[in-house]
Chains A and B, each alone.
Chain A
Amino acid sequence: MTVIEARSLRKSFGTTVALDGVNLHVEEGRILGLIGPNGAGKSTALNAILGLTQYHGELRVLGRDPWTERDQLTRDVCFIADVAVLPRWMRVSQALDYVEGVHPRFDRAKAEGFLAKTDIKRPSKVRELSKGMVTQLHLALVMAIDAKLLVLDEPTLGLDILYRKQFYDSLLNDYFDRSRTIVVTTHQVEDVQHVLTDLMFINRGRIVLSCSMEEFESRYLEVTVRPEQLAEARALKPIHERQVIGRSILLFDLKSNRVDRQQLAAVGEVRTPGIADLFVALMGNHTSQPQGLSQ
């Protein structure tokens, strides 16, 4: 089943073009990572999918128009828009009561179960919780909702590595299954590299790369080249080259450069590149300064 289908999606704010003809096709059971620099149009795309903003072009989410049929969609689509959107005055118990009271697919026992694994106390107010705990609470609320599509917009921004790891672990272990779909945007790309099933780079409102993770792994290779073989490796036309403590690391696109793994193994140590490295390689040609991509 197709969960999201977008054709030539456009949106501009005044003279700024946020989405410039984006095509998107997301099937059920996928975890799509939408990666891009600040202001690339990620959040605008998510807002359009969530029915929070108007757009031009064709967009269907679970077969519905998210702008005109938003009220029906909110039962099946869940989102965590930011780390800090839970109202600060709210008590944990009130948050549970409220979501239970308004959401037909909320399983309170499940949410209580997730919370039992944390240090979050029922009478605490959100303002008294640490940033990591607020995220845990929000995740516990959202994971207890039996939704078809979950949208996460920078869900782990500002959290330390332990909370981030825990966040994606619970998402995969306690929530995700083949009948659910997740779309996530983040700058902490190395956190999600092993989580995603699909990858999409977006820049200046356009899709720069769209592939499954299998494709990504078979198409792009990174080679740490021995200095004496550098010239030989460069002849194979890498798409990007960087220096790390005196060694050259070259990134190859196997599909367009017509090289194969054997040729590369002959000039150095071959491995799958990080999403961040590929991002820098591809975006370097598009923007002068790919900002916001952490680490």
Chain B
Amino acid sequence: MNTQSNPMTESLASAVAAPTPMLATRPFYWSVRRELWENRSIYLAPLGVAAVFLFGFLISAIHLPGKMRAMSLIDPAQQRELIAMPYDIVAGLMMFLTMLVNVFYCADALYGERRDRSILFWKSLPVSDLTTVLAKASIPLVVVPLVAWAIAVGVQWLMLLLSSAVLLGSGLSVSALWTQLSFFRMSLLLLYHLLTAHTLWPAPIYCWLLLVSGWARRATLLWAVLPVVAIAGLEAIVFHTWYFVTLVGARLIGSAPERNFPSPDIFPTNPMTHITPGHFLGSPSLWIGLALSAAFLAGAVRLRRYQGPI
């Protein structure tokens, strides 16, 4: 019996082949790509909602010429509001979807890979825990808001073209539509609003969810909510206030303190919105939130180091 024969002959064959050279790699880029492969809802959910909305808009476009004729009689400010309404609805839908997608993504991000044991595959490759967690955090903090923005702008653009075509088809002027909307400014304001109110402001909530998803062995959302309920309950009993819940709720839905968005009664993409990035970036509560986010992420990196499949 010769157990050595196979390995010995084969070593000759492989000795001829040159060693593989070290190739340049992009672990962060590919880690983000793989999140998008796995979580297609990141773009499918807003795309689906956008498609349904566009379909509805298409049907309502039949009445557009009539509405525009009636509208020419009322004053310009009201006109603007009426014309912009469907565009604001799109923007609002995308803000809501950003929150929804982020919450569900974060609650599963570091939990799913442990549950399906694929963490053993990911950990067998030279991608550090830090890279992995940062790639996962970049989904709610960069990718989702940008995707939502791109889809919102795309849908609004299609709506504008569609409305113009309908109006021109019925022999009406499109000037009211184009002058009242100030499309470019509206898009920039939406981007600003998504990145501040729906990303930086609720960042600690998303990072907290990531941390819990890396720790909990089941029911991540429940574990994430439990401490909030506990603190709120304690506060209600001891101080008879609801400060904490209000705080968390405001962060989640992206309603920043009034001085950051001085006119809460007008929609953030309204061209009259007076934005004050200085105020927003200078507010201590923003930075306290971001510091908390960083701490939660550091905790998530550390947890991933120790955690295996469940």
Chain A residues close to B by CB (< 8 Å): 29, 31, 47, 50, 52-54, 71, 74-75, 78-82, 84-91, 94, 97-99, 101-107, 138, 146, 172-178, 193-197, 213-214, 217, 272
Contact pattern, B 3-45, Cβ under 8 Å of A = 1, otherwise 0: 1101100110111000110111111011101100110000000
10 tightest A-B contacts by CB?
A: A101-B30, A81-B120, A177-B14, A146-B20, A87-B118, A74-B126, A177-B11, A85-B120, A85-B121, A104-B22
Bound Cα distance from A251 to B218, whole angstroms:
50
Question: Contacts A71-B126, A146-B19, A217-B1 given: A103-B7 contact, CB under 8 Å?
Answer: no
How far is it, in angstroms, between the C-alpha of A30 and the C-alpha of B124 when the chains are bound?
A: 21
- Contact A74-B125, Cβ < 8 Å, known A87-B118, A104-B25, A194-B3: yes
A86 to B113, CA, bound (A): 10
Q: Which of A103, A107, A146 contacts B126 (CB 8 A)?
A: A103
Asked if B116 and A87 make an inter-chain contact with CB atoms under 8 angstroms apart, the answer reads: yes
Say which residue of B4, B30, B116, B118 sits within 8 Å of A102 (CB atoms). Answer: B30
Q: Residue B4 contacts which of A52, A173, A193, A197 (CB distance < 8 angstroms)?
A: A197
Determine whether the beta carbon of A102 is less than 8 Å from that of B25: yes
Nearest A residue to B23, CB-CB: A104
Q: Are B128 and A105 in contact (CB under 8 A)?
A: no
Measured in the bound complex, the distance between the Cα atoms of B17 and A175 in whole Å is 11
B127 on the A face (CB < 8 A): yes
Which chain A residues border B128 with CB–CB below 8 Å?
Answer: 71
With A71-B126, A172-B6 as given contacts, are A107 and B20 in contact (CB-CB < 8 Å)? yes
Which of B3, B11, B117, B120 is within 8 Å of A213, CB to CB?
A: B3
The docked-state distance in angstroms from the alpha carbon of A81 to that of B3 is 25
A81 to B38, CA, bound (A): 21
Q: With a CB–CB cut-off of 8 A, which chain B residues contact A213? A: 3
Output the least CB separation between B38 and chain A (Å): 5
Q: Is the CB of B27 within 8 A of A88?
A: no
| A85: B residues at CB distance < 8 A | 117-121, 309
- A103 proximity list for chain B (CB < 8 A): 25, 125-126
* Bound-complex Cα distance A47 to B309 (A): 12
Q: How far is the CA of A217 from the CA of B306 in the complex (A)?
A: 41
Q: Any chain A CB within 8 A of the CB of B259?
A: no
Residues of A close to B116: CB separation below 8 A: 87-88
In the bound complex, do residue A102 and residue B127 qualify as a contact, i.e. CB atoms below 8 Å apart?
A: yes
CB atoms of B126 and A101 under 8 A apart:
no
User: Does B274 interact with chain A (Cβ within 8 Å)?
Assistant: no
Instruction: Evaluate contact between A101 and B6: CB separation under 8 angstroms.
Output: no
B308 interfacial contact with A, CB 8 Å: yes
Report Cα–Cα, A29/B26, bound state, in Å. Answer: 31
Residues in A whose Cβ lies below 8 Å from that of B185: none
Write out the residue numbers on chain A whose beta carbons fall within 8 Å of the beta carbon of B3.
193-197, 213-214, 217
Tell yes or no: B217 within 8 A of A by CB: no
Residues of A contacting B: mostly: loop
Q: Tally of A-B residue pairs with Cβ under 8 A?
A: 123
CB–CB A89/B37 < 8 A? yes
Q: Which residues of B contact A53 (CB under 8 A)?
A: 308
- The complex places the Cα of A50 from the Cα of B121 at a distance, in Å, of 12
| Chain B, 35-59, CB within 8 A of any chain A CB | 37-38
CB closest residue in chain A, given B3:
A213
A156 smallest CB distance to B (angstroms): 16
Indicate if the CB atoms of A102 and B27 lie closer than 8 Å: yes
Contact B126 A178 (CB under 8 A): no
Minimum Cβ distance to chain B for residue A173 (Å): 6
B67 adjacent to chain A (CB < 8 Å)? no
Establish whether residues A173 and B29, one from each chain, have CB atoms under 8 Å apart when the complex forms: no
The residue in chain B whose Cβ has the minimal distance to the Cβ of A87 is: B118
Do the beta carbons of A94 and B37 come within 8 Å of each other? yes
Give the nearest-CB partner of A271 in chain B: B1
B275 to chain A, nearest CB (A): 39
- Docked complex Cα distance between A82 and B116 (Å): 12
Q: Is the CB of B10 within 8 A of A82?
A: no
Contact of B33 among A74, A101, A196 (CB under 8 A): A101
Bound-state CA distance A138–B39 (Å) is: 22
CA distance A79 to B1 in the complex (A): 29
A86 closest partner in B (C-beta)? B121
Q: Which of B252-310 contact A (CB under 8 A)?
A: 306, 308-309
Complex alpha-carbon distance, A50 and B126, angstroms: 12
A78 CB to closest chain B CB (Å) equals 6
Residues of A within 8 A of B30 (CB): 97-98, 101-102
12 CB < 8 A contacts A-B: A50-B123, A74-B124, A79-B120, A79-B124, A90-B34, A103-B25, A107-B20, A172-B10, A173-B6, A177-B7, A177-B15, A194-B1
Cβ A176 vs Cβ B37 within 8 A:
no
Question: In the complex the two chains form, is B124's CB within 8 Å of A81's CB?
Answer: yes
Q: Is the CB of A101 within 8 A of B26?
A: yes
Closest to B37 in A: A94
Taking CB atoms, residues of chain B closer than 8 Å to A173 are 6, 10
Q: Return chain B residues, CB-CB under 8 Å to A82.
A: 117, 120
Are B38 and A106 touching (Cβ within 8 A)? Answer: no
Closest B residue by C-beta to A196:
B3
A174 contacts which chain B residues (CB < 8 A)? Answer: 10
| Contacting pair A98 B33 (CB below 8 A) | yes
Cα A54 to Cα B308 with chains together (Å): 12
